[in-house]
Structure 1
Amino acid sequence: MDTQENKLCLGDLIQVLDTMRVGLIITDRAGTVLWGNRYYSEVAKFPIAEYFGKNVREISRRENVTLPEQETMLDLVLRKKKEIHEVVKYNTDDYVITTVAPVGDPSGEPEFFLYTITNYSETLRMQKELSLSHARASALEEQLQELQFRKQLGEDVVVKDRAMTRIYQMGARLAFVDASVVILGESGVGKDVLAKFIHRSGDRKLQPFVHVNLGAIPKELFESQLFGYAPGAFTGAAKTGKLGLIRLADKGTLFLDEVGELPLDIQAKLLQVLQDKAVRAIGSTELVPVDVRVIAATNRNLAEMVQSGTFRLDLYYRLNVIELKIPPLRQRRDEIPYLAARFLQEFNQRYETSKEFSPEVLESFRAYPWPGNIRELRHVVESLVVLGQDPIITAEQLPVEFRESRMARRADPAVYGDAGLKTIMAHLERQILKEALDKYPTAGAAADYLKIDPSTLAKKRKRYGI
């Protein structure tokens, strides 16, 4: 290989080394700087070329480089006769990881020394930026998941409470598996709404959703309604026979509402259907395969029913693979205004009205305990829309139990937290004055109602800014 080829190879090597994102310095055995790359100059903030032909120790003295030891790294290598790693602080306030390695025959004196530096501070900044990017990506992913979740809910489902959001998110995940689900909760909390949400969010959404209200089926009709019957199976049976509700739900979802109402003999037959994935109609010897996803719901305590012997333990375990418990409406009061607004919109459209709630009505709604839960709220809103003659629905139009509940809540010290008696009394007085002024057309009439002098009322209005 001729000299020109050697020069070309060396030039190519230098070009490659000069583009590396690792700082490099090469010295001879005496420490004279032979070469340094561009990245070293970037990190150190001075041109390394200025030190070509000079001793590397001068960099520490002239460029204010802080070394962890009194000795220079080159002297440490010479003394210890091995590669040295240190964290060095440059005048830029950056910390760099510096390695000095002897290059040459291990059995003799080294011919060269190779300095390599990595900007540790820059690495930390990159890690921070990377962590920030991950955090942003995670936040964006959560936002997208939230948008997708809200889209899944649709307009008919109102979910604002944190606990309810978790329940519906769990329902969305359960939509794509066939595990049986039991939904627990008081009557009227919306167990059927959650069951329909699970059905329409999964792969079975185009198949039937059969809602069986077991609490509404007479005991003597349970078997024929659920399992169906063959032609002529019993006196009065239809000549064509009848498909049971289980077969009607084939490929879809069977929603067994109020499952705690099932008699023990029907529980045994239902368990057999779930185990065999097949159903036999009354009066038939044929087992018909069925593919159903079962969601059950009840306001009763199935575990206690098992203990008392009124619900089969094996059916309980078959149904209760996943348990979701919906809290009562009184425990998720933040949802009440949204639910009320949703029902108001529904009934305004149905009855071609344009009613609105006064703020006092919504306050009363939030104070009321709602023993009938969402079902009761829906019925109350419909009644107010139908019976109300004015465009604004006021607190005076509410049933008496709402006004009593509002007064009881107003008098409850727990409502005011740590406020003192003086603050509580002032708050109550202001509310009573405002209600009287809202109720009567003139301040004089309001004063008569409150049995105080009009001048006293005027002073109190000024004090409270009414």
Structure 2
Amino acid sequence: MEDIRELELRAILAASNDNIVITDGDGVVLRASPSCLSIYGEAANKLIGVNVEELEQKNIFSPSVTKKVLQEKKEVQLMQYTSTGRIVMATALPVFNDEGEIVRVISFSHDLTEIQHLKEDYEELRMKMAYYQSEIKELREKEEYFGETVMKSKEIRQIWQLIQRVAKSDATVVFLGESGVGKNVFARAVHEGSRRQDEVFIEVNCSAIPESLFESEMFGYERGAFTGANREGKAGLIETANGGTLFLDEVGELPLALQVKLLKVIQEKRVTRIGGTEPKTIDFRIIASTNRDLEQMVKEGKFRRDLFYRLNVIPINIPSLRERKEDVLSLCNFYLKKFNEKYESNKIFHVTTINELLAYEWPGNVRELENLIERLVVTTENRMIYPQALPFYLGVNPHPLEHEGTLEEMEETGASLRKAIEEVEIRWLRRAARQYKTTYEMADYLGISQSSVVRKLNKYQINS
């Protein structure tokens, strides 16, 4: 008749929620729970009589917690990643005899796969929430970009109407134009007008990511894929864009070797992490932008023809700011209002400053304009912003025939200090009188009181 203790032990092994493995002092398996098959991929009867070191080499116990106990002679707890794709928390305890020798090692393995998946789902949700918050913040800052006051020019109105039409489809859009024209703003507008508007908008600056890191950042990597990698692995930007929009900014800067891999992902909508073997199907929309001439790059062999045709489904050219001067004043007023609110200021443009802003060519486009207005609001001392504060202001004398001698010339003619001071005052007063319409504006420009300006104009008989 079978020993009652043997029956009890079998019942414990079968009923336990944890997988239990018992070995002798040499690491040879004596007993194992039936759950070994579902967790480790091997039936319990195939493990009995086999040393844990051999099982570790076969990646059944990886790593072997029993082996660690035999080496360290103390309780050990570690994470195992099994051949069946399970994530297991393993704890092992040594059993000593009276001589202090290990005669048994009992290990308990608890399957944490579902918990780990929940954790990963939570992390993915948290990542998406962070993107949502950042998108909401940027949209709040830029929502007036598409208001009536900014879209004055015919070109931009036509582009906006086209964007509203193409946004409803999943067609690939590529924005062309000089740096700083606002291609990323229009790309977000396409996303916001699409059925994916409630999903993530992932922006990738192809020129900002080093070539050595681009593949791991875009495609992600599995645990232990390379030295220095996150031990849990990492989802790439393409994978993160699942369900939403992937915006490839400055796509013309992509090296040829990476263009091949990107083309494959766009064609198949499947991505395989570095170090992984199982591709994942990803649902995303592609939007791209570049300031390069992609057609010319194709002819020169610097950009793949097949990738060009994949991206060039709906090309939209954004004109430079000098080609749509109607928008300059509206943009200046928009950014002036924005930065006045940001810095709790109340700066205003003088009419001559506006004329200079309208005449300027804006090689840096909207980005240059935005940066300049912020600088003017922060750095100008007076409430009125005069053209002298503009970095491109030349201060051309509107009366070129009028000669103004230098201090050295006055010294050579024997002029006294008093005469020289009067001459300098006259020059500044005449310059102010030519540029400004009121004595209050002249006073602000010259840095003196309005009464002083009136007195000096009368003194030197200057007609203002």
TM-score range, shorter chain: 0.5 to 0.7
Cα deviation, residue 311, structure 1? 0.4
Deviates more, 1:216-225 or 1:358-367: 358-367
Residues 208 and 407 of structure 1: CA distance in aligned 2, closer, same or farther (over 3 Å): farther
CA distance 1:233–1:346, change in 2 (3 Å): same
What amino acid is aligned across from residue 185 of structure 1 in structure 2? G
Matches within 5 A, 1:319-334: 319-334=311-326
Q: Distance in 1 between matches of 2:192 and 2:152?
A: 20
Partner of 1:435: 435
Q: 1:210 to 1:261 in 2, by over 3 A?
A: same
Residues 264 and 339 (structure 1), Cα distance of their counterparts in 2 relative to 1, 3 Å cut:
same
1:155 aligns with 2:144: yes
Task: Tell me how far 1:156 sits from its aligned partner.
Answer: 3.6
C-alpha displacement of 1:164: 0.7
Task: Determine the C-alpha separation between the residues in 1 that align with 2:194 and 2:227.
Answer: 41
Within 1, Cα distance between the matches of 2:435 and 2:361? 22
The TM-score normalised by the length of structure 2 is 0.57
1:293 corresponds to which residue? 285
Counterpart pick for 1:245 among 237, 244, 247: 237
2:353 matched to which residue of 1? Answer: 361
Residue 254 of structure 1 corresponds to which residue in structure 2?
246
The letter of the residue matching 1:366 is L
Aligned partners of 2:171 and 2:457: how far apart in 1? Answer: 63
Tell me the percent identity.
44
Q: CA 1:388–1:228 in 2, change beyond 3 Å: closer, same or farther?
A: same
| Compared CA separation, residues 407 and 163, structure 1 to 2 (3 A) | farther
- Supply the AA of the counterpart residue of 2:378: V
Q: In structure 1, how many angstroms separate the alpha carbons of the residues matched to 2:384 and 2:198?
A: 42
Alignment correspondent of 2:198: 206
- 1:250–1:291 contact (8 Å) kept in structure 2: yes
User: Which residue of the other structure, out of 151, 161, 164, is the alignment partner of 2:156?
Assistant: 164
Q: Contact 2:352–2:435 at 8 Å: present in 1 too?
A: no
Report the Cα distance in structure 2 between the residues aligned to 1:274 and 1:260, rounded to whole angstroms. 16
2:352 maps to a residue whose letter is E
Residue among 281, 305, 320 paired with 1:313:
305
Kindly tell me: are residues 210 and 408 of structure 1, through their superposed partners in 2, closer, same or farther at Cα, counting changes over 3 Å? farther
Aligned length: 280
Question: Which residue in 1 is equivalent to 2:270?
Answer: 278
Aligned equivalents of 1:338 and 1:447: distance in 2? Answer: 40
Q: Please give the alpha-carbon distance, in whole angstroms, between the structure 1 residues aligned to 2:218 and 2:317.
A: 26
Deviations 1:263-288 (A, max 9, x none): 11110011101111111111111110
CA drift of 1:407 comes to 4.8
Partner residue in 2 for 1:304: 296
| TM alignment of 1:48-447, pairs within 5 A | 154-157=143-146, 158-399=150-391, 401=392, 403-404=393-394, 407=396, 434-435=434-435, 438=442, 439=445, 442=453
Structure 1 residue identity aligned to 2:296: E
RMSD: 2.6
In the alignment, the residues of structure 2 paired with residue 250 and residue 410 of structure 1 have an alpha-carbon distance, to the nearest angstrom, of 64
Is contact 2:348–2:383 with CA below 8 Å preserved after alignment? yes
Q: Which runs of 4+ in 1 moved over 6 A?
A: 408-411
Shift of 1:299: 0.4
CA distance, structure 2, for counterparts of residue 433 and residue 390 of structure 1: 18
In structure 1, what residue type is equivalent to 2:297? M
* TM-superposed deviation, 1:434: 3.3
Counterpart amino acid of residue 186 in structure 1: E
SS at the partner of 2:243?
A: coil
Q: Which has the larger radius of gyration?
A: 1
Shift of 1:445: 5.4
Please give the alpha-carbon distance, in whole angstroms, between the structure 2 residues aligned to 1:409 and 1:167. Answer: 40
Question: 1:371 Cα deviation (Å)?
Answer: 0.8
Distance 1:408 1:167, change over 3 A: farther
Aligned counterparts of 1:267 and 1:446: Cα–Cα separation in 2: 69
SS where residue 196 of structure 2 aligns? Answer: coil
> Is the CA contact 1:229–1:244 (under 8 Å) kept in the aligned structure 2?
yes
After TM superposition, give the deviation of residue 446 of structure 1 in Å: 6.5
Contact 1:367 1:409 in 2 (8 A): no
Q: 1:443 to 1:205 in 2, by over 3 A?
A: same
For 1:295, what is the secondary structure of its paired residue? Answer: strand
In 2, Cα distance between equivalents of 1:267 and 1:274 = 10
Give ranges in structure 2 of 5+ residues lacking alignment: 1-141, 401-429
Range with bigger deviation, 176-185 or 431-440 = 431-440
CA distance 1:290–1:407, change in 2 (3 Å): farther
Amino acid at match of 1:323: P
Q: Is the 8 A contact 1:436 1:446 kept in 2?
A: no
Deviation string 1:244-269 (CA, Å, 9 cap, x unpaired) is 11111111110000001111111001
Compared CA separation, residues 160 and 410, structure 1 to 2 (3 A): farther
Q: What CA distance in whole angstroms lies between the structure 1 residues aligned with 2:398 and 2:175?
A: 31
Per-residue CA deviations over 1:9-31 (Å, capped at 9, x if unaligned) read: xxxxxxxxxxxxxxxxxxxxxxx
- Larger helix fraction of residues: 1
In 1, the alpha carbon distance for the partners of 2:222 and 2:456 equals 76
Distance 2:457 2:301 in 1: 63
SS at match of 1:382: helix
Question: CA, structure 1 residues 240+172, in 2 after alignment: closer, same or farther (shift >3 Å)?
Answer: same
